[in-house]
Structure 1
Amino acid sequence: MNSATATELTRRSMLKSLGAAAGLGLGGNVLGVGRASAQGLTTVTLQLGWLASNGILGEVAAAEQGFFEEEGLELEITPGGPNVDGVASVASGRASLGSISSSPSLMLARSQGLPIKCIAAGYQQHPFTYFSLEKNPVREPQDLIGKTVATNGTARILLQALLAANDIPENEVEVLVMGSDMSPLLTGQADVVTGWKTNTSALEVLGEERVDMTLWDAGIKLYANPYYVTDTSLAESPEMVAGALRAIARGWGWVRDNPEAAVEILVSRYPNLDKEAELKTVDMVVDYSFNEATAEHGWGTMTRENWQAQLDAYDQLGQFEGEAPSVDDVMTLSVLEETASARPTYG
């Protein structure tokens, strides 16, 4: 996943991206939910909120290993991109399920009346990170005071949340809008740039003097790569939803056990990806997917308490129109409970 697409959506950008997705029609290769394939399998379409990358290692591994077929399913992956987060595709029924960069996007969508709900968290911690250099390091939130931070326009809300959580006035930090590369830090335009820590190709230019402060360590504990479906799918197609999540969970377990082979599968399906860069990154991706929480509760686990904290933070920042959605509006543990025996318990 690249830093250009892996950022939060504010209320306005959410509406813009949903409209773009609907207007584009998401291309002619998107299959309807539950369409039967020639092999008698039910085709499920996974709509991504980003361009295909190492964020779907588990999915492509699961497809290659036959895990979807064992569930009576056939997987089709539809990429998103900078202007297509995929939420509209899932909400309208064009896609069976979706995975988006960050959990607050689902909260914002629900607050706009879209009937979608999170069923699992792909990454247990969010890789979004503030990068600086040793000559002027930012190691903790208080170090941001007096600094110039270059970030994506849609990620400004993340900085606002970080500052609010650490009692730092917004006027103490200057903000610039950046693209997908890290040049503002190297040219001196900014003291800090932002992006996903898993985007190793873009980060190579920063060299060994790079200093990282993750959003998670700074106190903003978001989930990354959350999986979501519609209320209708949960009510009317629970077997399909559970089967898809079981296959995906097993795929990520396979990636953890066979990282190099998983990269081979990924780059064979998406030859635009750089194999060497993906090999350098795969262990980090696995670490974001499995930790002490998954060791106890299995891949994809999430908590109501974490979701409530996110809802509270975004409500305090005025990101919801009207009343904030409830935890039960935005997530359910029912699919995780249904698939508990199949989800790998690695730490």
Structure 2
Amino acid sequence: MRLTRIFTAIAASSALVLAGCGTADPASTPAPGASGALTPIKLQLQWFFQAQFAGYIAAVDQGFYKEQGLDVQLLEGGVDIVPQTVLAQGRADYAVAWVPKALASREQGAGITDVGQIFGRSGTYQVAWKDSGITKAADLKGKKVGNWGFGNEFELFAGMTKAGIDPGKDVTLVQQQFDMQALLKKEIDAAQAMSYNEYAQLLEAKNPKTGKQYTADDFSIIDWKTEGSSMLQDAVWANTEKLNDPAYQQQTVKFLTATIKGWAFCRDNAEKCRDLVVAKGSKLGKSHQLWQMNEVNKLVWPATGGIGVIDETAWNQTVQLSQTTKNQTGDTVLTKAPEGLAYTNDYIKQAIEQAKTAGVDVNGTAFQPATVTLNEGGS
């Protein structure tokens, strides 16, 4: 079954993968830092610089990658960039991508493997006005429902499917911009939002009736974790074929070890990481980025099994929903279970042990989120 319309961006980009992968020559890849020189590494992010990627930004800034013999270049993402395709085509050494999107690309031929599930929880909401009466997926029936597309809508469709709603017949789907203006202008009844980004944009907006910012009391949230249709999101993906190369295996452990240190640093130094993100050129302001850092930390910490370890139950739920959730034309994200090495905990577990030896708290059991005050416009 071919994915259509909303799934086209992923499928079309992935169609180029097989021609671009090539075969790595293990003998030509030196072990990281073997000669004392830093090994250049490119990490493709899935969006613009923001606190969603603060752990990687901090690992560069604090020298954690250099400690491992790596010179890491962060490649900024955007609307037209599919990270897993960039990775599979050999234009990056690692990539950050949501699991269902990446699995769809794997089914189209991308040779990639999840080696570190940094976000252990989903941060996707569907947000409505409090007075709309929309509090759960079933309430979306007959409504104008916004979504971004590009593979970001899978949890929404899974939640509607679970609630007995046919996304092709029972709702009016609206292509939503990557902001909340359509909801604020009441052009749609419910809008897609990340807990760490677009939801904050609502709380940064001014209520024209009061002259003050909106508050959480003005909105209702459908959280897909509560609805049982959440899927795994930000993960570090590696090139599957290169994982046969002992040098790339060693490099992957080193990369993940430094990445763990970066995320632990941002857990313990949220304001410092906020400043690093802003200095990196974030398009959103300081209070917004502090909110985002705090909310992103909630998705990472606590990490009971250790940061980045792929939980089998969460993985299986993501795969099962990807095989059964249909879009408005009746197509599913996946047509079959992933084949080959879709994920492995081998390298992240080695990295966790190395980080623990260096005195890093890899579980964050004591993590407590802060209370962040948003300024108007996120400034």
Tell me the TM-score normalized by structure 1.
Answer: 0.85
| Counterpart for residue 6 of structure 1 | none
Partner residue of 1:332 out of 314, 324, 344: 344
* Contact 1:46–1:75 (8 Å) recurs in 2: yes
Report Cα offsets for 1:198-247 as digits up to 9, x if no partner.
11553223822022212222211212211100112322111100100110
Three-state SS of the structure 2 residue aligned to 1:122 is coil
Report Cα offsets for 1:67-97 as digits up to 9, x if no partner.
1111111110011210112222211222110
Partner residue of 1:345 out of 357, 363, 377: 363
Partner residue of 1:44 out of 19, 22, 41: 41
Three-state SS of the structure 1 residue aligned to 2:43 is strand
Partner residue of 1:225 out of 234, 257, 262: 234
| Counterpart for residue 68 of structure 2 | 71
Partner Cα distance (2:191, 2:79) in 1: 18
Three-state SS of the structure 1 residue aligned to 2:73 is strand
Does the alignment pair 1:80 with 2:77?
yes
Three-state SS of the structure 2 residue aligned to 1:131 is strand
**Partner letter of residue 220 of structure 2?**
V
Partner Cα distance (2:298, 2:193) in 1: 18
**Which deviates more, 156-165 or 39-48?**
156-165
| Counterpart for residue 359 of structure 2 | none
| Counterpart for residue 5 of structure 1 | none
CA spacing shift, 1:250–1:307, aligned 2, 3 Å: same
CA spacing shift, 1:34–1:108, aligned 2, 3 Å: farther
Three-state SS of the structure 2 residue aligned to 1:129 is strand
Partner residue of 1:284 out of 286, 292, 295: 295
* Contact 2:260–2:352 (8 Å) recurs in 1: no
| Counterpart for residue 178 of structure 2 | 180
Does the alignment pair 1:244 with 2:261?
no
| Counterpart for residue 92 of structure 1 | 89
Partner Cα distance (2:30, 2:40) in 1: 6
Report Cα offsets for 1:245-304 as digits up to 9, x if no partner.
11011110011111111112222222644223212332111111113xx1x311112222
| Counterpart for residue 129 of structure 2 | 133
Partner Cα distance (1:70, 1:273) in 2: 31
**Partner letter of residue 239 of structure 2?**
T
| Counterpart for residue 309 of structure 1 | 317
- Point out where structure 1 has 5 or more consecutive residues left out of the alignment: 1-8, 24-32
| Counterpart for residue 194 of structure 2 | 196
* Contact 1:233–1:241 (8 Å) recurs in 2: no
Partner Cα distance (1:93, 1:298) in 2: 29
Three-state SS of the structure 2 residue aligned to 1:158 is helix
Report Cα offsets for 1:286-326 as digits up to 9, x if no partner.
111113xx1x3111122222222222222223435754324
Give the deviation of 1:20 after TM superposition. 8.9
Partner Cα distance (1:301, 1:10) in 2: 30
* Contact 1:145–1:168 (8 Å) recurs in 2: yes
**Partner letter of residue 152 of structure 1?**
W
* Contact 1:106–1:330 (8 Å) recurs in 2: no
Give the deviation of 1:191 after TM superposition. 1.1
Three-state SS of the structure 1 residue aligned to 2:263 is helix
Give the deviation of 1:181 after TM superposition. 2.3
Does the alignment pair 1:151 with 2:147?
yes
Give the deviation of 1:180 after TM superposition. 1.7
**Which deviates more, 89-98 or 314-323?**
314-323
Partner Cα distance (1:114, 1:245) in 2: 21
* Contact 1:34–1:96 (8 Å) recurs in 2: no
Give the deviation of 1:159 after TM superposition. 2.6
| Counterpart for residue 26 of structure 1 | none
* Contact 2:42–2:92 (8 Å) recurs in 1: yes
Report Cα offsets for 1:169-197 as digits up to 9, x if no partner.
33332221121222222222211111212
How many correspondences in the alignment? 326
**Partner letter of residue 78 of structure 1?**
L
**Partner letter of residue 338 of structure 1?**
Q
| Counterpart for residue 115 of structure 1 | 111
Partner Cα distance (2:18, 2:336) in 1: 25
* Contact 2:322–2:334 (8 Å) recurs in 1: no
Partner Cα distance (2:337, 2:32) in 1: 38
Partner Cα distance (2:335, 2:271) in 1: 48
Partner Cα distance (2:234, 2:352) in 1: 19
- Point out where structure 2 has 5 or more consecutive residues left out of the alignment: 20-28, 208-213, 357-361, 366-379
Tell me the TM-score normalized by structure 2.
Answer: 0.78
Partner Cα distance (2:30, 2:180) in 1: 42
RMSD between superposed Cα atoms in Å: 2.8
* Contact 1:17–1:83 (8 Å) recurs in 2: no
Partner Cα distance (1:16, 1:265) in 2: 35
Report Cα offsets for 1:18-40 as digits up to 9, x if no partner.
469999xxxxxxxxx97989971
**Partner letter of residue 80 of structure 1?**
G
